[in-house]
Structure 1
Amino acid sequence: MAEANNTTVTLQVHRFTPRAERAERARGGSPFARKSSPFAGGSDSATRRRPRGKQWVQEYTIPARPEDTVLDCLLAVKRTVDPTLAFRYSCGHGMCGSDAVSINGTPTLLCTATIRDWVKKPIDLPQVDDEGFRHIGSGAEDAINGMGEHEDDGSLQSEQSKPTGENSSLGVIELAALPGFPPQRDLIADIDPMLNQIRKLTPYLEADGVLATTSEGKVDAYEYLQHPEQLAKYETLSNCIACGVCEGACPVFAGGDAFIGPAALIWASRFVNDSRDVKAMERMDAIDTADGVAACQSVRACSRHCPRGIDVGEEMWQIVAKVRER
């Protein structure tokens, strides 16, 4: 981000620092607790228990441009303001899915979210007085008249010229860890529960294992060729990067750790629809449970902001219908 930039953005970051576990918990908890109890010690209960620690909201105001991504802003904070801020990213191009967080209450990726698209301008923020009441009146009208307009070049300009060197605020962006998962630190969520659910459904191709040969006894190199129609049935599903955005938006998954979740069902559907896979019936049996397709309430919130363009809600409906019709 350019140093000469005269616009700023304020990041409201919901931070979290876990509390160190006490020694008796690390050794297994109470000796009187039953192992079948969710309060008993062990790895299972440790996974289910939401981490405890210090939570607070911290604001960072930094120079930024409308075309900058939220990840750009966090990197600027990390490098120049607060090195203790924790967040996760890898490729920075929306391909790995490691930087999924909640932006203004909506799960999405940091690297694909631009300030222009996500910032809450001052007019969007509620006007609150000293007693905590929100007012709508002449003040709101004045704010509307004083707000800048979007120009054709995409930059935010003010109708009234500002003195040279004076910073103008683009607005506020609220950041929190991905909902539906236990937080680890600041904007980093523990997505292992989702990955474990995916692993349970054997997310890899299972062929019959028979090596096809030609009439001449040679290996048939065309054994697994598919028609375009066969490829189209699962090609879109193969774009899933297991970022957790769909699960963070799912109210059923967020309600507990029993529902297998939309991401795992998408991965199962990808192989159920693959003509080369011979375990389709077994795969559908595995998800035909109370915590599988039966738990989906067809809210379709999982379709919002999928970074790979998958209509998760529609694909969920398709796999549910296929399981019930088999």
Structure 2
Amino acid sequence: MNGKENGMNTVTLRVNRFTPRPERGRERGGSPFARKSSPFGDSGASARRRPRGKQWVQEYTLSVRPEDTVLDCLLTIKRTIDPTLAFRYSCGHGICGSDAVAINGTPTLLCTAMVRDWAKPAGTQVDNEGFRHTGDDFQPVPAQDGDDLGVIELAALPGFPVRRDLVADIDQMLDQIKKLKPYLQANDDLATTEDGKIDAFEYLQNPQQLAKYELLSNCIACGTCEGSCPVYAGGEAFIGPAALIAASRFINDSRDMQTAARMDAIDSADGIAACQSVRACSRECPRGIDVGEEIWQLIAQIKER
């Protein structure tokens, strides 16, 4: 059944697929004598080298509604066309961050990406006067029922090893976040009231104190900022923007007593110094965090201390 028969539109998903080759002998990771100078582990190219295996591009043409998400499309493929297609998702509402991939080369979440926003018309784009347009100034005519919306290209999240198809291995990023102790470290002294009970108001904050880190606490560690960062995705030794955001969240929390130690942890050649302030990490954050600006503020704080 095609789009013209049921009043829907058609779209083609062009998926970069990958099946790993079974590993033999010693686990991948390079020479056991290789030097690992980064305090955050082997965060360079060797840690994110793509496993060997079969790579190919496969196309799927579907009948869809323009408001359907790309995740909806993949679920349809998985359930009715090709059960071997591998991708990852959980909540389906942009909260868990597990379904981050590259759509048309841009890291984003499958569950929040609508077909109408990402489908690229096939062939040359020509306006009513016959002029060819390739830039953002071209505004295509809204799709009618039965129209072919075009092509959406999908690949695993850049900057990470690929486990299978659209599933990226983000363990390295999560390990780097964990190394920075992403939890509140307050005083060991437990405040009590005059009658010996725990003082429940010990850590009250005013609105200004909360505002300094409230948005940062929305980070879902999806990895889109890492995949957008040319330093991290390029294979350089860099702790990555996601870990720096995790550090900034507690550095800016007035209740945390480990600000100096947290700054020491990121003040290194592979930490804050490796950021080149490109700010590509800010463009696609699904939680609205201006990652580049937050990292710049960290740089300023470290220089001033």
TM range (shorter): 0.7 to 0.9
Using the aligned pairs only, state the percent identity.
Answer: 69
The alpha-carbon deviation at position 138 of structure 1 amounts to 6.1
Query: Residues 17 and 316 (structure 1 numbering): CA distance in 2 closer, same or farther, change over 3 Å?
Result: same
Query: Residues 138 and 232 (structure 1 numbering): CA distance in 2 closer, same or farther, change over 3 Å?
Result: closer
Name whichever of 45-54 and 103-112 sits farther off. 45-54
1:292 corresponds to which of 268, 271, 274? 271
1:152-187: CA deviation from partner (whole Å, max 9, x where unpaired): xxxx228xxxxxxxx431110000000000111000
Partner letter of residue 321 of structure 1? A
- Residue 59 of structure 2 is matched in structure 1 by 59
The alpha-carbon deviation at position 289 of structure 1 amounts to 0.1
Segments of structure 2 that go 5 or more residues without pairing to the other structure are 134-138
Segments of structure 1 that go 5 or more residues without pairing to the other structure are 127-136, 142-146, 151-155, 159-166
Query: Residues 299 and 29 (structure 1 numbering): CA distance in 2 closer, same or farther, change over 3 Å?
Result: closer
Query: Residues 37 and 320 (structure 1 numbering): CA distance in 2 closer, same or farther, change over 3 Å?
Result: closer
- Residue 136 of structure 2 is matched in structure 1 by none
Structure-2-length-normalised TM-score: 0.88
Q: Which has the larger radius of gyration?
A: 1
Question: Do residues 157 (structure 1) and 139 (structure 2) align?
Answer: no
| 1:6-155 alignment, distance < 5 Å | 6-22=8-24, 24-26=25-27, 35-36=33-34, 47-123=47-123, 149-150=141-142
**Structure 2 CA distance for aligned equivalents of residues 124 and 199 of structure 1:** 47
Moved over 6 A (4+): 43-46
The alpha-carbon deviation at position 198 of structure 1 amounts to 0.1
Query: Is contact 1:95-1:241 (8 Å) kept?
Result: yes
The alpha-carbon deviation at position 140 of structure 1 amounts to 5.2
Structure-1-length-normalised TM-score: 0.82
Q: Could you say what the CA RMSD is over the residues aligned between the two structures, in angstroms?
A: 2.6
The alpha-carbon deviation at position 304 of structure 1 amounts to 1.1
**2:19 partner SS:** strand
Partner letter of residue 36 of structure 1? A
- Residue 237 of structure 1 is matched in structure 2 by 216
Query: Residues 110 and 182 (structure 1 numbering): CA distance in 2 closer, same or farther, change over 3 Å?
Result: same
The alpha-carbon deviation at position 7 of structure 1 amounts to 1.4
Taking CA–CA contacts closer than 8 Å with sequence separation of 6 or more, which of the two structures ends up with the larger relative contact order? 2
**Structure 2 CA distance for aligned equivalents of residues 300 and 4 of structure 1:** 44
The alpha-carbon deviation at position 124 of structure 1 amounts to 5.5
Query: Is contact 1:107-1:179 (8 Å) kept?
Result: yes
Query: How many pairs are equivalent?
Result: 289
| 1:170-209 alignment, distance < 5 Å | 170-209=149-188
**1:25 partner SS:** coil
**Structure 1 CA distance for aligned equivalents of residues 89 and 259 of structure 2:** 35
Query: Residues 125 and 276 (structure 1 numbering): CA distance in 2 closer, same or farther, change over 3 Å?
Result: same
- Residue 214 of structure 1 is matched in structure 2 by 193
**Structure 2 CA distance for aligned equivalents of residues 188 and 17 of structure 1:** 11
1:104-146: CA deviation from partner (whole Å, max 9, x where unpaired): 00000000000111110135579xxxxxxxxxx96959xxxxx
The alpha-carbon deviation at position 221 of structure 1 amounts to 1.2
**1:269 partner SS:** helix
**Structure 2 CA distance for aligned equivalents of residues 93 and 121 of structure 1:** 27
**Structure 2 CA distance for aligned equivalents of residues 49 and 63 of structure 1:** 37
Query: Is contact 1:86-1:185 (8 Å) kept?
Result: yes
1:213-255: CA deviation from partner (whole Å, max 9, x where unpaired): 2234332110011111110000000000000000000000012
**Structure 1 CA distance for aligned equivalents of residues 35 and 264 of structure 2:** 28
**Structure 2 CA distance for aligned equivalents of residues 284 and 148 of structure 1:** 49
Query: Is contact 1:5-1:64 (8 Å) kept?
Result: no
